[in-house]
Chain A
Amino acid sequence: MDAKKFSLKSLIFSKINRKLSFLVISALLAPALGIYLFYYILSSSFPSGVFSEQAELLRTTAVFIIIFISIINAGVIGLFVTRSISKPIKELHKATLELEKGNYDTKLDIKTGDEFSELGKAFNLTSKALGRLEQERREIDNAKTEFLSITSHELRSPMTPMKAQLQMLQEGYFGKLNKKQKVSLEIITRNSDRLDNIIVDFLEISRIEAARLKFNFKETDISDIIDETTKFMEGFAKEKNINLVVNIDKIPKIEVDSDRLSQVLRNLIGNAIKFSEENSKIEIDAKLQNDFILFSVRDYGCGLNSENQIRVFEPFYQVENSSRRKHGGTGLGLAICRGIVEAQKGKIWVESKEGKGSKFFFTIPLEPVRNIEPIKVLFSSKKLIERKICEEFKSILGPLGYSEFNDLKSKNSLGKDDLLNYIDSLTDLHIIPLEKGMNFKNKIGGIFGEEKTVINNENDSMCDFEDEVLVRN
């Protein structure tokens, strides 16, 4: 910024100040000069001494009239000046709000001929620049999705002959293999499979981001899908002697893409198996909740801390660096689940305690969403969630909210439990009333996905873990 522009000199000689000064001075001086002139002519037209007493009276009266007229004049001019300043400010305010809504075509037309006109022109240039940047951002975003899609296709094509040749080698098409050759081929096969899985997941993400995800809705019994998926996953669960417990409430038949639903469930159950100890159990529930069906997959594995609970849906985010190597997978599974669920206007979230296990929830609507919108799964969900939390803090706690938010952030306490505990402490200390605290909690719950559970069924979610603590104690 140019500091010179804000100097006292430039303020005094600003166009607005010149205009105002001229108005005020003329408002005050014009009547004074006029009336004094009138008095002067009147008094000088009489010989001195004869009229001196009346003249004295006249002068006093004139002074009062001057003061009176000046006050009225000042008031009128003040009103005029205030209006002439506040009108462009109001227009500017309105236009800024439009800009905030993303309406970059907003134009200001202030013709006051002073700094406000200049401000208006600068505003127009800014909104034009913002519009251009927004356009560019969209183009880049589309290019990214397109690039991802094309690259994935191009990467997938060579997999076909590669895998075919590998399998032919392994199946002895070209002669018997010795032990070392077999091991070598196994390694190549395993890694080409992994590469292929990543490419397939990339393609899936490019479809989600470009709203090209296809849903094939058919009236289906949800329990059939869950049973089939569970049966399929039982093979993997057996390896660790994990028991899959299914609990399905009475749910009406709904129109749903069974392949997609099964894909999400397989992913969640697969993760639950990966992160469970041997000889434990995994609970798979489904129940009706308003206009949605709420699914949950609960494991008794290592659980997630609050940071990980937020970030677990980010692409390639894995809880520990070693986890991918240990557990396999592409690191895109949960991001794809989120894309599929959100494309159907559902929500997906996790509740967890470290060492106690995790419970993944997701909802799908009773009425299928046919108009698929693009979902940004490549964005960091952490930043998005933090921004939403910060906004709630500011709206509920006012100006204090921002510093409180930053305080919690620096302590790495932006997990759902931390925030709910924080709100409890606010209501306990009567810093905010109980009702406001409840509202705050619902808002935070909503950000983490489960507004429907918090509002309607408060004992449903986290208490699952609390009960367990009590029982164990």
Chain B
Amino acid sequence: MPKVVLIVDDEEDVRESVRMILSANGFTVDTAVDGDDCLRKVNQIKPDLVLLDIMMPGKPVSEIIKEIPNTKIAFMSVVRISDARKRGLCSQPNIVDFFQKPFNVSDLVDRVEFILNG
């Protein structure tokens, strides 16, 4: 059974690019355009991992992650964030990684593989 990844980003080209990369590597991929869409899709498709952009219009990320405490989440951010703040952001146990945009394609694949397949 292929693992399911949900990509949440308000930018279509980012969603599409990540979808292309991960589905080419054997993952089942779905996308959401904002926080509310994300919560709906999480309940619907029960993803193994949510790739969540931390800066999106609408519902703040801090509220989204509270509502899905049992789903693995990896953050994505175009804003550079200091290691100290990263540690703060990743303090909740279901936050498993932090991807700095622009990301490296093979690095992204490796890390997602590691999170989902060990």
The residues of A with any CB-CB pair to B shorter than 8 Å are: 153, 156-165, 167-168, 171, 173, 196, 200, 203, 214, 216, 259
- Given A164-B17, A164-B105, A203 contacting B80 (CB threshold 8 A): yes
Asked if B21 is at the interface (CB within 8 A of a chain A CB), the reply is: yes
The complex places the Cα of A175 from the Cα of B12 at a distance, in Å, of: 24
The complex places the Cα of A162 from the Cα of B105 at a distance, in Å, of: 11
The complex places the Cα of A196 from the Cα of B105 at a distance, in Å, of: 16
| Residue in chain B with minimal CB distance to A173 | B24
- Given A200-B80, A203-B80, A214-B82, A165 contacting B17 (CB threshold 8 A): yes
The complex places the Cα of A158 from the Cα of B14 at a distance, in Å, of: 8
Structural contact, A196 and B80, CB atoms closer than 8 A: no
Which residues of the partner chain B approach A153 to less than 8 Å between Cβ atoms?
A: 78-79
The complex places the Cα of A216 from the Cα of B83 at a distance, in Å, of: 9
Structural contact, A168 and B14, CB atoms closer than 8 A: no
- Given A157-B11, A173-B20, A173-B21, A164 contacting B103 (CB threshold 8 A): yes
Structural contact, A168 and B20, CB atoms closer than 8 A: yes
| Residue in chain B with minimal CB distance to A159 | B102
Which residues of the partner chain B approach A259 to less than 8 Å between Cβ atoms?
A: 82-83
Q: CB within 8 Å of A: which of B63-90?
A: 78-80, 82-85
The complex places the Cα of A163 from the Cα of B108 at a distance, in Å, of: 13
The complex places the Cα of A173 from the Cα of B108 at a distance, in Å, of: 14
- Given A167-B104, A196-B102, A216-B84, A160 contacting B14 (CB threshold 8 A): yes
The complex places the Cα of A156 from the Cα of B101 at a distance, in Å, of: 9
Shortest CB distance B13–A (Å) = 4
Which residues of the partner chain B approach A157 to less than 8 Å between Cβ atoms?
A: 11, 78
| Residue in chain A with minimal CB distance to B104 | A167
Shortest CB distance A364–B (Å) = 18
Which residues of the partner chain A approach B79 to less than 8 Å between Cβ atoms?
A: 153
Asked if B18 is at the interface (CB within 8 A of a chain A CB), the reply is: yes
Q: List 22 A-B contacts (CB under 8 A).
A: A156-B101, A156-B102, A157-B11, A160-B11, A160-B14, A160-B17, A160-B102, A161-B11, A161-B14, A161-B16, A164-B17, A164-B18, A164-B102, A164-B103, A167-B105, A167-B106, A168-B17, A168-B24, A168-B105, A171-B106, A196-B102, A259-B83
Which residues of the partner chain B approach A167 to less than 8 Å between Cβ atoms?
A: 104-106
Shortest CB distance A18–B (Å) = 71
The 10 closest A-B pairs by CB, nearest first: A161-B13, A164-B17, A167-B105, A163-B102, A160-B101, A160-B102, A161-B17, A216-B84, A159-B102, A161-B14
- Other A-B pairs, 7, CB within 8 Å; known A160-B14, A168-B24: A153-B79, A160-B78, A161-B13, A164-B102, A168-B105, A173-B24, A259-B83
| Residue in chain B with minimal CB distance to A167 | B105
The complex places the Cα of A171 from the Cα of B21 at a distance, in Å, of: 11
The complex places the Cα of A216 from the Cα of B87 at a distance, in Å, of: 12
Q: CB within 8 Å of A: which of B41-81?
A: 78-80
The complex places the Cα of A188 from the Cα of B44 at a distance, in Å, of: 40
Which residues of the partner chain B approach A200 to less than 8 Å between Cβ atoms?
A: 80
Which residues of the partner chain B approach A160 to less than 8 Å between Cβ atoms?
A: 11, 13-14, 17, 78, 101-103
The complex places the Cα of A326 from the Cα of B84 at a distance, in Å, of: 37
| Residue in chain B with minimal CB distance to A218 | B84
The complex places the Cα of A160 from the Cα of B101 at a distance, in Å, of: 6
Structural contact, B82 and A156, CB atoms closer than 8 A: no
Q: CB within 8 Å of A: which of B18-39?
A: 18, 20-21, 24
The complex places the Cα of A432 from the Cα of B102 at a distance, in Å, of: 61
| Residue in chain B with minimal CB distance to A204 | B80
| Residue in chain A with minimal CB distance to B108 | A164
The complex places the Cα of A163 from the Cα of B16 at a distance, in Å, of: 13
The complex places the Cα of A203 from the Cα of B80 at a distance, in Å, of: 9
The complex places the Cα of A159 from the Cα of B20 at a distance, in Å, of: 17
Q: Tell me which of B13, B78, B102, B105 has the highest count of chain A C-beta atoms within 10 A of its own C-beta.
A: B102
Shortest CB distance B112–A (Å) = 13
| Residue in chain B with minimal CB distance to A163 | B102
Which residues of the partner chain B approach A161 to less than 8 Å between Cβ atoms?
A: 11, 13-14, 16-17
Shortest CB distance A63–B (Å) = 94
Which of B14, B80, B82, B105 meets A171, CB within 8 Å? B105
Shortest CB distance A216–B (Å) = 5
| Residue in chain B with minimal CB distance to A192 | B102
| Residue in chain A with minimal CB distance to B84 | A216
The complex places the Cα of A168 from the Cα of B101 at a distance, in Å, of: 15
Shortest CB distance B55–A (Å) = 9
| Residue in chain A with minimal CB distance to B15 | A161
